[in-house]
Amino acid sequence: MSRYRGPKLRITRRLGTLPGLIQKQSKKKDKPGQHGKAASDGSKKTSEYGLRLEEKQKLKFNYGLSESQLYLYIKEARRRKGVTGLILLQLLEMRLDVICFSLGFAPTIANARQLINHRHITVNGKIVDIPSFQCRINDIISIKQNQISKNLIENNLKNVRFTNIPTHLKLDTSKLEAKIVNYCDRNDILLDLNELLVIEYYSRR
């Protein structure tokens, strides 16, 4: 699956802070590109389509999704009963790589994906190496019982940027084990996003 591997700070300059993509902040304040300064100071007005596209790009880059993956999540969110925008965010927050990032097991979602691919993470006692694995309420997320995995996660927890664990997760740091107690609350999501604009972007598909 294709995934963005280009300059990440350039993306954050254009879209704003993306907690799941990168820890660093760019020293440059203007948006990238020939007309970046005009876009930053507000002299160039963004169209309605441009605003929707920007919000969609935020979601895509923050969670490390391809276009086809994101559209599948949109279709699943539409299919379920409830507020489509909130359901979309809950589906994304229940991905195993996002949960590992939210717990502080990894500094970014990309790093969490690498942890899972390298078989350091277990769900309900079984190793899962699929980052997009959809977790459920009452699942137990823990670390493989070897010293390399434990040292890796412990070091990441010491350097965690976000002090508050989301309310839908319950972490036991002594056991390096967490339980999913509910679906995520909208206020716990770190990404500054208007999810309704994302739904509107896909409304004609």
Domains in the chain: ranges and CATH:
8-89+191-201 (1.10.1050.10), 95-182 (3.10.290.10)
Predicted pLDDT at 126? 95
Predicted pLDDT at 173? 87
CB atoms within 10 A of CB 35: 12
In angstroms, rounded to a whole number, what is the distance separating the alpha carbons of residues 158 and 113? 19
In angstroms, rounded to a whole number, what is the distance separating the alpha carbons of residues 90 and 100? 15
Radius of gyration of the chain (CA): 18
In angstroms, rounded to a whole number, what is the distance separating the alpha carbons of residues 80 and 35? 41
**H or E segment and range at residue 123:** strand 121-123
148, HSE (Cβ side, Cα atoms, 13 Å): 5
Predicted pLDDT at 182? 94
Predicted pLDDT at 116? 95
* Beta pairing class for 140-143 and 177-180: antiparallel
The alpha carbon dihedral of 142, 146, 152, 157 has a sign of positive
Predicted pLDDT at 45? 75
Indicate left, alpha or beta for 42 from its phi (over 0: left) and psi (-120 to 50: alpha): left
Alpha helices by DSSP H, 64-146:
67-79, 84-93, 96-103, 109-117
Tell me the two tokens of residue 11: 């993306």
pLDDT along the chain (205 residues), means of 10: 68 81 68 55 74 92 92 94 93 95 91 94 95 95 92 87 83 92 90 91 85
- CB 59 within 8 Å of CB 194: no
**H or E segment and range at residue 34:** none
- Best CA proximity match to 97, nearest among 20, 163, 22, 165: 20
Tell me the two tokens of residue 35: 């007309």
